[in-house]
Amino acid sequence: MAGLLSLLCPLLVAAFLVLCHATEQKVHIVYMGERRPQGDFSPASTHHSMLAGILGSYESAKKSLVYSYGRSFNGFAAKLSDEEVEKLSDMEGVVSVIPNHILKLHTTRSWDFMGFSKGKLGAPLEGNVVIGFLDTGIWPESDSFNDEGMSAPPAKWKGKCIGANFTCNNKLIGARWYNSENFFDITDFPSPRDSEGHGTHTSSTAAGREVQGASYFGLAEGAARGGVPNARIAMYKVCWSYGCSSADILAAYDDAIADGVDIISVSLGSDFPFPYMEDPIAIGSFHAMKNGILTSNSAGNSGPYPYSVSNCAPWTLTVAANTIDRKFVAQVVLGNGLALSGLSINNFDLNGTTYPLIWGGDAVNFSAGANTEIAGYCFPGALNSYKVERKIVLCDTMVTGSDILIANGVGVIMSDSFYSVDFAFSFPVPATVISNEDRVKVLNYIRTTENPTATILVAQGWKDVVAASVVSFSSRGPNPITPDILKPDITAPGVDILAAWSPVAPPSIDYKDTRSVNFNIISGTSMSCPHTSAAAAYVKAGHPNWSPAAIKSALMTTATIMDPRKHVDLEFSYGSGQINPEHALYPGLVYNASEADYINFLCKQGYNTTTLRMITGSNSSVCNSTTPGRAWDLNYPTFALAVEDGQPIQGVFTRTVTNVGNSYSTYTVSTYMPYSVSITVEPSVLTFSKIGEMKTFTVKLYGPVIAQQPIMSGAITWKDGNGHEVRSPVVVYNILPGYEYGIPTSPMTTQKTDKFEGPSMYHKTGILGRH
């Protein structure tokens, strides 16, 4: 009997845990597109009725409901068990049921570097544009958000300023906050106020007022300003110390669209791809696009690995990050006079004083169970404070520096060939990051010197002569969901950007750093995204009636060409090139696209008429076929041809351009492709006689059978002889057989039952993060 019980007990425990997991209620999003309730019922009452039918009572439904979306699209967020999710996902009118994924968050020299010192449109036009930010909140008292001389918000504005001890003004005209998990860390403010710094930084990068004398502890001192300093800001706080939840993101989109924003800036995303109708940013930005609002979002910080780009929906603008012509170098000088350069935003001044130098591996904390290898990496608790005290420590990898402080060290020299190349961090101690090759020199000096010493100098801003180049961490293509759509779309400065900061947020990578700053220098595609958001707002100010696709096209076709010799992955790293806001005001031609174009695209992604009618709320949405097809006819400003291994190069693309330049104009095409690829454009000349006139052309690509071929790229450019050059990259590359409709494990999942014929959006698990 005892033996039998010993076998049964683990099984009973496992069964109990499974049962508990199945009955545990977690927040899920029930997405219902734009199909409105029939009759006089409000969306909220319909949502309550649906929940009551599943949960058994209106009282249970009231306790379960977290959000009722209804201002801009239909749906709700509620606490549901797995069984309840299954039932709801089969209900008529439900597009998808999505777990409440937690996403990740993905300055002044940058605008001058791009040749955009100050916009030429003027304050009145800029002031008509509202940029909505989905982020960590904002510090409203920052000088970057003062409203001196600004007029009242535009009459169209319907937003609110919600939060205790929080005040908006004519610059910061709206602020809301969302927390579906009802969880707050001790550092979180239950208001739009920013305790992380990220949202304050992104919003001031895009639209901050000019602040003289801004710096990070004296580094990068100068005038800080956003790209459109007279545009209005609306903050939608969806991110907290633990991340950003999908339910909150959709609630923010629902409000932002109805409030009347013009551009939405989203510096966050997933570390791995989701189908379009399971991705809260893709869903929210689709409804924003329907309402004339362009979403600018970050590509992610998972580079340089292929297929790592996030935010892949074709109706959004996906932004990579590149360097600017300034880098922060903190030199370490050894006792023998050898000076080695490392990257670090080091503001600590040791006044040239030298300190004893020790390798972490020679200061092992044996009492904590460490060994030489562990201590060499300076892992937490691995260092012997008796040996480290008042010394500079050499570590074999990147660390935060906090453990050096705990062990009473003076400073740290870190070695990492990835983090010592093109971007810098700030630390809570004197620090620098050198290459692995230079680490060998430092260790040899320690080994051959009786009393080795060193000092670390204050960082200096050196000119980066190889800029602009896409930074190593910036996520790369190909597009993992739709290989025929080139992603990222564009690149913008995202390295060592100085912008406003929350004074209660840590000013370095150590979350325990208690120092306070009003401006900070950080890097990420989170920093490049607001640059492009500002550029989009600038174009919107100059052309208020342009569609999101037209604004996106203008930015992409006028982008500054990046040097392909610096980038082995070519357009998979930088898309169309680096944004050029002033040129984007006058693109000459634009590739426009409407909701109907994107519906046709989604049909070829496997979605059916029933599903798309729910998404759009219109019976006019029709799929003639749900058989997966290539996206070659979507009117996109770039061309991507994904060729299965062992197949010939063969693709025909249809495009339509709209004249937004001179009334009477003639454009002639020029093409470039590698010698092995044949490209023809028909017709090769386009003649326009009025503004708004549209012309259609085809691009044909042919070539031999290819296999294991890295990306090959060229371009087609339309020129009118009067300064307009409309350039579109063309890329050809190999994919594995069966990948022509995306990576099988992510974009196209299994079909649901007859009640829902589109791609399955129901996953039981999934955690996302901030960029």
Using alpha carbons, list the distances in angstroms from residue 290 to 484, 488, 533. 23, 22, 18
Mean pLDDT, residues 438-462 taken together: 96
Please give the structure tokens belonging to residue 108: 């002044």
Q: What pairing do the DSSP bridges indicate for beta strands 411-415 and 392-395?
A: parallel
d(CA 464, CA 219): 16
HSE (side-chain half, CA atoms, 13 Å) at 112: 11
Taking the C-alpha atoms of residue 582 and residue 118, their distance in angstroms, rounded to an integer, is 9
Cis peptide before 468 (omega within 30 of 0): yes
Contacts of 693 (CB under 8 A, 6+ apart): 658, 659
Give me the catalytic one of 28, 47, 101, 198: 198
CB 508 within 8 Å of CB 315: no
Is 763 catalytic? The answer is no
Mean pLDDT of the chain: 90
Whole-model pTM: value is 0.91
Catalytic site includes residue 241: no
Strands (E) across 438-502 are located at 453-456, 460-462, 490-493, 497-500
Residue 321 reports pLDDT greater than 60: yes
Per-residue exposure over 386-399, b if at least 16 CB sit within 10 Å of its own CB, e if not: ebbeebbbbbbbbb
Q: Which of 100-104, 329-333, 711-715 has the lowest mean pLDDT?
A: 100-104
pLDDT of residue 743: 67
pLDDT, position 120: 78
Give the H or E element holding residue 673: none
Tell me the pLDDT tens digit for each residue of 213-260: 999 999 999 999 999 999 999 999 999 999 999 999 999 999 999 999
In contact, 584 and 533? CB cutoff 8 Å: no
d(CA 771, CA 488) in angstroms, rounded, equals: 15
Ranking 11-25, 376-390, 435-449 by mean pLDDT, the lowest is 11-25
Residue 110, pLDDT > 90, answer: no
Token pair for 120: 């030429």
- DSSP, collapsed to helix, strand or coil, labels residue 245 as strand
Average pLDDT for residues 591-597, to the nearest whole number?
96
Mean pLDDT of 515-520: 97
Is the pLDDT confidence value at 487 over 70?
Answer: yes
The pLDDT score that the predictor gives to residue 765 is 26
Read off the pLDDT band of 771 (50, 70, 90). Answer: low
CA angle 97, 102, 104 (to 5 degrees): 135
Q: What is the DSSP string of 677-729?
A: -EEEEESSEEEESSTT-EEEEEEEEEEEEESSPPPEEEEEEEE-SSS-EEEEE
Strand order in the sheet with 490-493: 172-177, 232-237, 130-135, 263-266, 294-298, 316-322, 490-493
Q: How far apart are the first and last CA of the chain?
A: 55
Read off the tokens for 5: 């019980």
Strands 130-135 and 263-266: parallel
Among residues 81, 135, 484, 528, the one annotated as catalytic is 135
pLDDT at 366 over 60: yes
What's the pLDDT at 335? 96
Catalytic residue among 195, 526, 576, 713: 526
Query: Comparing C-alpha atoms, which of 149, 155, 192, 191 is closest to residue 170?
Result: 149
- DSSP H helical ranges for 97-189: 109-113, 123-126
Q: Is residue 436 classed as helix, strand or coil in its secondary structure?
A: helix
The pLDDT of residue 5 is 39
Q: Which two tokens stand for residue 105?
A: 């968050």
Instruction: Count other Cβ atoms within 10 Å, centred on residue 628.
Output: 15
Residue 135 is a catalytic residue = yes
How far is the C-alpha of 285 from the C-alpha of 295, rounded, in Å? 6
Q: What is the pLDDT of residue 744?
A: 57
According to the model, what pLDDT value does residue 751 have? 28
Confidence of residue 68 (pLDDT cuts 50, 70, 90): very high
pLDDT at 678 > cutoff 90: yes
How confident is the model over 689-714, as a mean pLDDT? 96
Q: State the pLDDT at residue 316.
A: 98
